């Protein structure tokens, strides 16, 4: 059932400034044996990203392979990451259950999260009515949070665009991270933002340049987790309205994505982080040979860095 009165909500509309800019999605190295997070290696990656001009960090999302880690492991990393980072942190709090998502969200707020990303519960499929009820109850349970809808149909139940617009119109949510890569989806959201205040964050690097020029607020970028210079250069050009420069840099981005897509997510991103001097940790499944990727990356990195100065 639709929400009958969007203006009658438990939580008031958000008045804080929108979240914007480039948020790097951080890879999560695992220990070589066992299944635990390598906290020290992850903090080294965070230190590297903090030295770049990104706006903030996003941890334990799809790029961060949150599904491999239990409840306590995720909270452990959140606590250390938010203590270590010099930039704001936007964690994914999604659990397979509503109660689990609420519990992770409460702890993340205590640790100082800048906002919370929550996709529909994963693995099992849910109807639009189920998803509506889930998000409204999550909003009720976390009334002081900057709560972001998180649409990532590649890995979880899709968040239908009509429902996303309906939820955002209530004023209960700070915004949405849309990882669909569908221009029609974010165009609907841009139209809604004419009459409603929320942050529109792109979560798919393939459409970042065009969406940012069209008016999206920013990006949570997996590519920025390994190549922050490139995504930040695109952000600067987009903010300056330099469409030709965005298109030029997007060629470099498309080249990188074509190589990253040769491996399961986020295997090649972790390898790229390793080639930049940081531990990659263990992989969920032993990957195929990296020989061709390593050769390409060795030539690509100095070319990309020269183009983004």
Decide if 175 contacts 143 (C-beta within 8 A).
Answer: no
Predicted local distance difference test score (pLDDT) of residue 280: 87
* Domain extent at residue 261: 21-307
The DSSP code sequence of 111-151 is HT-S-EEEPSPSSS---HHHHHHHHHHHHHH-TTS-EEEEE
Q: How far apart (Å, rounded) are the C-alpha atoms in residues 203 and 201?
A: 6
Residue 134, domain member (yes or no): yes
Residue 5, domain member (yes or no): no
Q: Which residue has the tokens 């210079």?
A: 229
Burial status of residue 4 (CB atoms within 10 A of its CB: 0-12, 13-18, 19 or more): exposed
Residue 207, domain member (yes or no): yes
Q: Which of 57, 52, 50 is nearest to 88 (CA)?
A: 57
Torsion of CA 140, 157, 235, 211, to 10 degrees: -110
Q: CATH number of the domain at 281, please.
A: 3.20.20.70
Torsion of CA 100, 105, 110, 111, to 10 degrees: 100
Question: For helices 128-141 and 98-111, what crossing angle results, to 10°?
Answer: 40
- What are the tokens at 185? 């989806």
Residue 7, domain member (yes or no): no
Q: Which of 41, 34, 36, 78 is nearest to 280 (CA)?
A: 41
Tens of pLDDT along the chain (309 residues) come to 334 333 333 333 333 456 899 999 999 999 987 789 999 999 999 999 999 999 999 999 999 999 999 999 999 999 999 999 999 999 999 999 999 999 999 999 999 999 999 999 888 989 999 999 999 999 999 999 999 999 999 998 999 999 999 999 999 999 999 999 999 999 999 999 999 999 999 999 999 999 999 999 999 999 999 999 999 999 999 999 999 999 999 999 999 999 999 999 999 999 999 999 999 888 988 888 999 999 999 999 999 999 999
Residue 8, domain member (yes or no): no
Residue 13, domain member (yes or no): no
Q: Which of 228, 282, 264, 251 is nearest to 32 (CA)?
A: 282
Predicted local distance difference test score (pLDDT) of residue 14: 35
- What are the tokens at 102? 């609420």
Residue 140, domain member (yes or no): yes
Q: Which of 62, 57, 48 is nearest to 24 (CA)?
A: 57
Burial status of residue 299 (CB atoms within 10 A of its CB: 0-12, 13-18, 19 or more): exposed
**Whole-prediction pTM:** 0.92
Q: Which of 164, 192, 160 is nearest to 176 (CA)?
A: 164
> How many domains would you assign to the chain?
1
Residue 289, domain member (yes or no): yes
Q: Of all residues in the chain, what percent are helix, strand and coil, respectively (each to 5)? A: 45, 10, 40
Q: Cα dihedral sign for 53, 54, 59, 63?
A: negative
Q: How far apart (Å, rounded) are the C-alpha atoms in residues 212 and 238?
A: 6
């Amino acid at each position: 059932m639709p929400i009958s009165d969007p203006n009658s909500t438990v939580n008031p509309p958000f008045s804080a400034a929108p979240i914007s800019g480039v948020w790097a999605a951080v890879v999560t190295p695992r220990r070589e044996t066992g299944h635990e997070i390598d906290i020290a290696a992850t903090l080294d990656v965070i230190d590297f990203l903090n030295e770049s001009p990104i706006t903030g960090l996003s941890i334990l999302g799809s790029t961060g392979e949150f599904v491999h880690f239990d409840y306590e492991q995720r909270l452990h990393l959140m606590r250390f990451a938010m203590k270590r980072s010099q930039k704001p942190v936007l964690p994914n709090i999604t659990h397979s259950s509503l109660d689990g998502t609420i519990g992770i969200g409460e702890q993340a707020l205590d640790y100082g999260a800048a906002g919370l990303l929550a996709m529909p519960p994963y693995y099992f499929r849910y109807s639009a009515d189920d998803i509506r009820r889930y998000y409204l109850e999550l909003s009720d349970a976390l009334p002081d949070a900057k709560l972001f809808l998180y649409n990532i149909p590649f890995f979880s139940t899709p968040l239908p665009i009509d429902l996303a617009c309906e939820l955002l119109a209530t004023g209960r949510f700070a915004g949405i991270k849309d990882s669909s890569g569908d221009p029609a989806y974010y165009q609907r959201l841009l139209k809604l933002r004419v009459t409603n205040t929320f942050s529109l964050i792109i979560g798919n690097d393939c459409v970042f340049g065009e969406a940012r020029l069209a008016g999206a607020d920013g990006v949570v970028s997996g590519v920025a987790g390994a190549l922050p210079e490139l995504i930040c250069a695109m952000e600067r050009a987009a903010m300056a309205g330099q469409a030709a420069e965005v298109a030029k840099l997007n060629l470099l981005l498309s080249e990188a994505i074509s190589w990253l897509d040769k491996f399961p997510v986020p295997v090649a991103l972790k390898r790229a982080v390793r080639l930049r001097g940081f531990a990659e940790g263990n992989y969920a499944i032993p990957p195929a040979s990296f020989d061709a990727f390593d050769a390409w990356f060795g030539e690509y990195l100095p070319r990309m860095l020269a183009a983004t100065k």
